[in-house]
Chains A and B, each alone.
Chain A
Amino acid sequence: MNAPLRRAGIVIMVLFGLLFANLNWVQAYKADEYRTSGFNSRVQVAEYDRQRGVIEAGGEALAESVATNDQLKYRRTYPLKQPYAHVIGYKPVNLGATGIERSENDFLSGESDKLFADRVKDMFTDDDTGGGNVLLTLNRRAQEVAYEQLTKNNGGVDRGAAIAIDPRTGAVQALVSMPSFDPNPLADHATKKAQAAYDELLKAENGPLKNRALSEVLPPGSTFKIVMAAAALENGITKETSIPAGSTYTAPTSGAPIRNAAPSICPESQVTLAEAVRESCNTGFARLGVELGADKLKATAAKFGFGQDAELTVGNLTGGGLPVAASETGAIQGPDGQDDPGALAQSSIGQREVRMTPLQGAMIAAAVANDGKQMQPYLVQRLLGPDRRQIDSASPKVLREPITPQVASDLRDMMKLVVENGTGRNAAINGFQVGGKTGTAQTGVTKNIGWFIGFAIDDKGQPVSAVCVVLEDYGDGGSAEAARIAGRIMRAAAGRGGD
C-alpha cells in the first residue's frame, strides 16, 4: 500500500505546485493590472492622499476637502448643504459618486490628463499637489432663491423642480430639485454611517436623491401648447389667424370630450392663435392638433428636443455631465398603429403619453427667447489648476435650431401676452419683458401638476434668463404658484435681487 500512498503524496505536491504557480500569476504577473483596476476600491482610498479640488460658484466653495487625522487624509464637505446637492452630487468613500463630483472626478482628483504637468512636478518634489478646481455657471442668488421659493411654496407641496438657463449661452443659472438632502453624511469616512445615511435617503418618501430637474419626466400639460403653436406657425397659420375653439370638443372617432379649464375660456367658436395661447384654450389646440396631424406635431416636438436627448448630459460642454431623461411625445397612435384623433387631441394639450423634463421646458422657453437657437445647457464654466491658473473655459454651443427667428418672435409676442394679461401674470418682473406659458397636467393618480415655462428680456433687448418650474401634486393654482416662483428666479438671475 505504500507505493500508492507515495503517489498520493506526489498528487498533493502537484496540486500545491499548481496553486503556487497560479499565485505567481495572480500576485506577480497580473499584480499591477489588479492593483490599478477600476474595480479595485483601494484605488479610491489612494485618491484621498491628495487634496481633491474645490467645486465653486460665484466665489463660494460648494464642495471642498478638509484635512483629517484618520487614514483617509481629506474629508469631502459640502458647506451649503441642501440647495446645491443635486448639482454637486456627492463623493462617498465606498459608494458611487454622483453629480459634478462624478462627472468631473478626474479633474477634481488630479488624475486628468489636463493636470499631467502637476503630476510630473509631484514626482520630482515628492509632494501631493491637490486636484483641479471646477467653477460652475450657477448664479448663487438665483440658486438660493429657487431653493427657498420652491421649498416654501404656497401650496406646501413636497415635490418639484426649478431650472433656469441663460438663453444666449445655455449656462445653467439655477437647478433645484425638491425634496433635497444634505450630502455631508454620505461622505462620512465611517463607511457604515455613510451607508446607513444612503439607505435612509433611498427609502425616504419622495425620493430626495432623484434629480427631478433633469431626470423626471411628467406630462407637460398646456406648456406643450408652445410647441403646438410653433407647429402651427410653421404650417402657415399666423398669430392672428382664427382657429376653431368652443367650450367642448370631442375628436372624430373616439375619446372623452375635451373641455377648457373654466367656462369663461374660449367658449366662442373661433379665436385667434394668440388669444388661444393667452387664455390657454384646450379645445382650440386640440382641434389644431387634429387638423395638423400627428406627424407634424411630432416633427416640431423633435426639433425642440423631444425624443432626441437620451444621450445629452448637463455638465462640461467637452465632456460628461449629469444624465438627462429623454422627453417624449409618445406614439400618438391607436393600439394597432393607426391614426387616432382622440389620442392626437389629448397629446396636443400635453396629456396622454407626452412627457417632458423641467430641463426640456426651460430649453423650449430659451429657444424662443434666443431667436430660435437652442444652446446646449452646461454647468461647468471654467476649470482651474491647483494653482488657479485657467486650464479650460466653456465655449457655448448651439445644440439645435428648432424654429426660425420669425416664428420665435411670434411666439415671444404671444408668450408675453400670457404674462401681461393671461394665465401667467404672477411671473411679471418690473423692468423686464417677461413671457411664458402655464400648464396644469393631470396624472390621474395624484393631484394636478403645476408648470410654468418662461423667459425674461432686459431693457436692452437681451434675453437674460429662461426658466421652468414644476410643482407636483399641487392641485388648483399650481401653475400660478409656479409662475410666481419663476418670476423670482428670473429676477435673481438677472441680478435684480431675489425678493
Chain B
Amino acid sequence: MPRTHRNAELAMLLFAMALVAVYAATVEATVLETLTPRFWVPTALLTALFVALHMVVRFLAPYADPVLLPAVALLNGIGVAYLRRVDLARAEPDERIDLGLFSGVGGRQLAWTLLSLILAGVLLAVIRDHRIVSRYAYTLGLIGIVLVMLPAVLPASISEVNGAKLWIRFGGFSIQPGEFAKLALVSFFAYYLVRKREVLSLASKRFLGIDFPRGRDLGPIVAVWLFSLLVLVFEKDLGTALLYFGLFIVTLYIATERSSWLIIGLLLFFGGVYLAYVLGASVGGPFRNFYDRAQIWLNPFEGERPFNESYQLVQSLLGLGTGGLFGTGPGGGQPRFIPEVEDDFIFAGLGEEIGLFGLSALLVIYFLVVSRGLRAALAVRDSFGKLVAGGLAFTMGLQVFVIVGGVTGLIPLTGQTTPFLSAGGSSLMANWLLIAMLLRISDAARRPATGAAGGPAAAPGAKQPPAQLHGAATEVIR
C-alpha cells in the first residue's frame, strides 16, 4: 500500500489552525487589552470544518496532495480572523468586548466557509474522476460566457460596485458571477484544446526562429481576445480581462507547446491595453475609466488625487508603509483608515499589521498552493486533467498577482478578490471548488498505476469519459 500522507495533512492542518488561534488571541490581547474566554471559538469551529473536509478527502481522494488543504485552510483561517479584527475596529470602543462572535463580516465569512467546504466536499463526492467533466464542456463554456457577460449587460444599478461592473446584486445580497466563470471556462478551454491541439500545433512559418501558426487557426485566440477587451471596456475591469485572457493563452500554450502563441497573446494583450489607454485619453467614452485608473496608478500622490480618485490606493500604500518590515502586530494597526479593507484591500490591511515578513509568508503560501496545482498537472496522465489543473493553478496565481499587484501599486488597481482572504461568499465558494478540483486531479495523479486502472471502475454507474479522451489519456508524455 503506497503512502497517502493523509496523517501528514492532518498534522499540518492542526498546525495551521494553531497559528490562526495565536493570531486571533494576539488580536484580542491588543485590541481589547484582555483575552476573552471565548477567543478560541471561531478557530475551533474552523478546525472542525477543515478536519471534516480532511475526512472527506481521506475517503474520497486518498492520494490527493497533502499540502493543498492545510495551506488553503491557513489562508482561510487568517482571513476569518482578520475580518473579525476589522469588525472589532469598526465597533465603538465600549462595545468591542461584547461583540458577538458571529456578527459582522467575520461571522459571515465563517458561515461562507462552512458553505464553501460543503460545496468542496460535494464536488469531491460527485466527481469521482475529473475526466467526467469534459462531457459537459460545451455546456460549461456557455455557462462561463454567460456568467462573465451577465454583469456587463445588466444595468449599472444592479451590477456596478466602485466603478467596476462585476456584480449581480439583489436585495442585500450580491454575487460575483465571474468568480465561478473561471472554473467553467477552464474546463471548456481544456476540452476544446485537447481536441484541437493537433491543428493548432501546425506551424506554417518560421520567423526569428519561432514557429508561427497558420493564419486561419488564429480564429479562437482572436475571439477570446475580443471577448476580453469587451470585458475590459464594459465591465471596466482590467483585472478580469487579464485573468481570462491569461488563462486562455496559458492553456493554449500548454496544449500546443508553441511559444509563438504566448508571444502573439502577449502582443495582443498589451497592444489592446495600450490602445484602450490611448483611446481613453483621446476619445474617452467607455475607455475613460481605464485611462483614469492608469493615471491613478502612475501618479497616485499628484495634486488633489489622494483625496479623490486615488484615495483608496494612497491609503493602501500608507497602510503598507506604516506596517514596514514587521508590522504593528495583529490588532495593532488602523484598518479603518484603509477603504474596502475587508474586500479588495485586505492585503494592505494585513500588511499594516503583519508587515513585509508576514505578507511574504502569505505570498509563499499562495505560491505553494499554485505550485502544488501545477505539480498535479505535471503528474496527472491525461491531457484534459493536465490542462484543467494547470489552468486553474495558473489562474489562481494570476489572480493573486493582479490584486496584490494592484493594492501595492505594481500594476493598475482592479477589483479582484484576494483568494481565501477577502470577505465574500462567491469568491470563497468558487476558490474552494477550484481547490477541490485540484485535490481530485492530484488524487488521480498520485494514485499508484495499479489503482488508476480501477479508477473509473471504482465508481460504478459513473459516466464514462468521452471516447476521444481515451487516446489523450494514454498519450506518451514528453
B137 contacts the other chain (CB 8 A): no
Within residues 1 to 53 of chain A, which ones have a CB less than 8 A from any CB in chain B?
1-9, 11-13, 15-16, 18-20, 22-24, 26-28, 30-35, 37, 39-42, 45
A192 contacts the other chain (CB 8 A): yes
A27 touches B478 (CB 8 A): no
Q: Which residues of B contact A13 (CB under 8 A)?
A: 367
Q: Which residues of A contact B325 (CB under 8 A)?
A: 27-28, 31
A13 to B398, CA, bound (A): 11
Q: Which residues of A contact B317 (CB under 8 A)?
A: 26, 30, 34
A27 touches B324 (CB 8 A): yes
A270 contacts the other chain (CB 8 A): no
B306 touches A71 (CB 8 A): no
B378 contacts the other chain (CB 8 A): yes
Closest to A2 in B: B378
A191 contacts the other chain (CB 8 A): yes
A5 to B388, CA, bound (A): 11
For residue A176, give the distance in angstroms from its CB to the closest CB of chain B.
31
Chain A-chain B contacts (Cβ-Cβ < 8 Å), number: 141
Q: Which residues of B contact A28 (CB under 8 A)?
A: 324-325, 356
Chain B: interface residue count, which band? 35 or more
A5 touches B324 (CB 8 A): no
A189 contacts the other chain (CB 8 A): yes
B477 contacts the other chain (CB 8 A): yes
A299 contacts the other chain (CB 8 A): no
| Count of chain A residues near B, Cβ 8 A | 42
Closest to A191 in B: B336
For residue B138, give the distance in angstroms from its CB to the closest CB of chain A.
22
Secondary structure class of chain B's binding surface, majority of residues: helix
B371 touches A33 (CB 8 A): no
B324 touches A35 (CB 8 A): yes
A45 touches B334 (CB 8 A): yes
A310 to B351, CA, bound (A): 44
A70 touches B93 (CB 8 A): yes
Within residues 369 to 406 of chain A, which ones have a CB less than 8 A from any CB in chain B?
none
Known: A5-B378, A27-B320, A34-B318. A15 touches B408 (CB 8 A): no
A261 contacts the other chain (CB 8 A): no
A190 contacts the other chain (CB 8 A): yes
B255 contacts the other chain (CB 8 A): yes
Within residues 244 to 284 of chain B, which ones have a CB less than 8 A from any CB in chain A?
250, 253-255, 257
A13 to B315, CA, bound (A): 28
For residue A336, give the distance in angstroms from its CB to the closest CB of chain B.
36
Chain B 463-476 interface mask (CB, 8 Å, partner A; 1/0): 00000000000000
Within residues 120 to 143 of chain A, which ones have a CB less than 8 A from any CB in chain B?
none
B314 touches A39 (CB 8 A): yes
Q: 8 closest pairs, A vs B, by CB?
A: A34-B321, A12-B397, A27-B356, A22-B410, A40-B318, A31-B324, A15-B401, A4-B254
Report B's interface with A, CB cutoff 8 A: 92-93, 250, 253-255, 257, 301, 306, 314-315, 317-318, 320-325, 334, 336-337, 351, 355-356, 359-360, 363, 366-367, 370-371, 374, 377-378, 383, 386-387, 390, 394, 397-398, 400-401, 404-405, 408-410, 477-478
Q: List 19 A-B contacts (CB under 8 A).
A: A1-B254, A1-B387, A1-B478, A4-B253, A4-B254, A5-B254, A6-B374, A8-B250, A9-B374, A19-B404, A23-B320, A23-B351, A26-B408, A28-B356, A34-B318, A35-B321, A39-B301, A39-B314, A190-B93
